[in-house]
Structure formats: C-alpha cells, structure tokens
Amino acid sequence: MKKFRIGMVGAGAVTRMHLLGYAGHGDRIEIVAICDPSETNVNERGDEFGIPGRYTDVGAMIEQADFDVAVVCTPSTIRRSVVMPLLQAGIPVFVEKPFADTLEEAKALANEAERMGIPVAVNQNFRKHHKFDYIRELVKDGVIGKLEGIGFDSLFYRQDAGWRLQTDRHALSVMAIHWFDGIRRIADAEAKSVYCTRYSSQAINCVGETDATVQILFDNGVRAHFSQSFSSPFVKNELIVMGSAGVISSSSDDIHLYRLDPSGIPTWHPTPVQTWRSIMPIEEAVYDGLNQLLTWIETGAEAANSARDNLHTVALLDAAYISASDNEVVKLHNGLLNVQA
C-alpha cells in the first residue's frame, strides 16, 4: 500500500480526534502540514503531534506544503471556501460531517469534485463506531426477517461552545446527521418523505434547536423515527431495529437479538436469543473513513463514504429543517430534494 502525505485544515477539537486516530498508522499516512487561522491552535496541535508544516492560510499551505490528501475539519459554515481551492489544486479531500450545511451547497461541491475527477469522502465515522454497518449486515443476512421499522432515541445534556451556538442549525447538524446516515444505511433504501418538529430548550445556551423528533418513510416501506435531545438530564441511547421475525436492540457495544417465545406469550423482560459485540473506538473509525478514501485513490473504486453517497444524508438533514420550518411532510425523489446545483 502507498503511504500518503496528509495536510490538515482546521486545528480545533475535532482535528485532535482525527490526529489521535491517525497516530497509530504511520505505515499508511504521514501528517506533514496543518492550517488554521489561529496560530495558537496551529502550534498547539503541531507541537502535540509533531507536525512540521504550519500555516494560517489554506492558499499558502496548498502552494508551499507537499501533501497528497487534505483532511478538512473546519466549521461547516465555511466549508465551501476551504474545499473548493483544494479541489482546484487537484487534491483529494476527506471532510468532516455535515459535508455542507445545505443540500444545495453539498451538491455544488460534489458536482465540482466529480467534474474534475477528484475523490472526496465524508467522515461518517458512526457507521463503524456506532455499529450501524454491523447491524446493516445482520439485517441483510435475514436475522430479523423482513425489515419493517427503525427507532432511535438519543437523549443527553450537551452545552456546546463556539461558532455553532450562533447558527440556526444545531442539534440535528451536530449529532442527528449521524442518525440520518446510520438509519438510511440500515434501511438500505432511499427516503420518500421526512417529517420533523424541533425546538430550542432554555436549558441550553444556543440559537438553534436542542431537541427534535423526525419520522422518515423509505421507498421499501421501512418506517423510521428518532428523537434527539441536547437538553435532557436523563440519558438514553438506544437503537431498535424491528423485523417480521425478530428485533435487534443496541444501547452499548452489545447487539441483542430478540424473538417471540415459542409459546407466543409476551414477557416484560425477554432474554436475547443471541448477542454480538462490536467495538471500534471513534478515533479508529475516523481513520477507517480516511482509509476508504485512500483506497479509492489507489483502486479507482468509489468509496462507500463518497461525497456523492453523502448527498442522501445531507438531503435528509435539509428535509428535516424544511419540514420543521413549514410544519409539513417533505417529499424526496430518489432520496434527494429538488435543488439547483
């Protein structure tokens, strides 16, 4: 396998998570440069991880640093202004989620990358970290019969800081973007419609939503719903995948399979008939996402986390915000909204 030289754009907390995940893969990647408007942040990350090239302007980094792939961990509000110069320089990009704040912007970036033949992948690390892909394979293997419904509750207290507090899009863009992606991976189909309600709790200091509920109908008949809360002192993190012959439940590293008792008598405390365990630390899942891009570069086979694929996740996010604003069901066609780009 080729060893790739990596340039990091952004030097905040998310970048540190990436760098921790990359640290154990020196045979595959070498971090040669880092860029951020804050010289303090650049030097802090550079000193901690021994990064030689340090820049406060992405244009200067493109011109002066010798790197093969860029990892972009900037705020999504300035994503296009960072990704476009990299694409124009012919540099493949691994970009943080959400890929862009709106589907229109995401489409523009994906179309430009495709036109130029530059691979772009998105860090949907919860596919592996949160077991979505593992459960997807169990469902495809038929362990619950015909997939019928997906439910997910993610409730906890989270007070963020920084730029995100001033944006209209908050909890759904920060965390539910993972749930949109994971749910559509398990459904293995395109979304037909989305309905969402959202509100901002006084318990959290932010402009955008802290809490939301979302319902999704997929074109194979699967129905999904989830609740997201950043304002709940009660913590709940549970995924339920329902089928005609059983149910998968997961709230930790363990994945449980339940079936009806042969007697047909329901019980309040059923015992799982089978349990699987899937553990991938989030930092390792981040590296896995980057490595999918590197394999794409080597083989020419588009990665599962490509920008083109991620448009369907951003479409769900966009549809949820539109639905909540208009208080209407939003229809999708082939998993996408009708936007110009």
Domain boundaries, the chain: 4-125+283-305, 127-279+314-331
DSSP 3-state assignment of 318? helix
Helix (H), strand (E) at residue 188: none
- Distance from C-alpha of 95 to C-alpha of 290, rounded to nearest angstrom: 9
Residues 242 and 145: beta-carbon distance below 8 Å: no
Q: Which residues pair with 239 in a beta bridge?
A: 152, 250
Q: Does domain 4-125+283-305 have CATH number 3.30.9.10?
A: no
Residue-wise pLDDT tens digits, 95-129: 999 888 889 999 999 999 999 999 999 999 999 99
Task: Please determine whether the domains at 4-125+283-305 and 127-279+314-331 fall in the same fold group of CATH.
Answer: no
Contacts of 47 (CB under 8 A, 6+ apart): none
CATH fold of 127-279+314-331 reads Dihydrodipicolinate Reductase; domain 2 (3.30.360)
At 264, the pLDDT band (50, 70, 90 cuts) reads confident
CA proximity to 252, closest of 235, 231, 267, 271: 235
3-state helix, strand, coil in the chain (%, to 5): 35, 30, 35
DSSP 3-state assignment of 243? strand
Residue-wise pLDDT tens digits, 281-322: 999 999 999 999 999 999 999 999 999 999 999 999 999 999
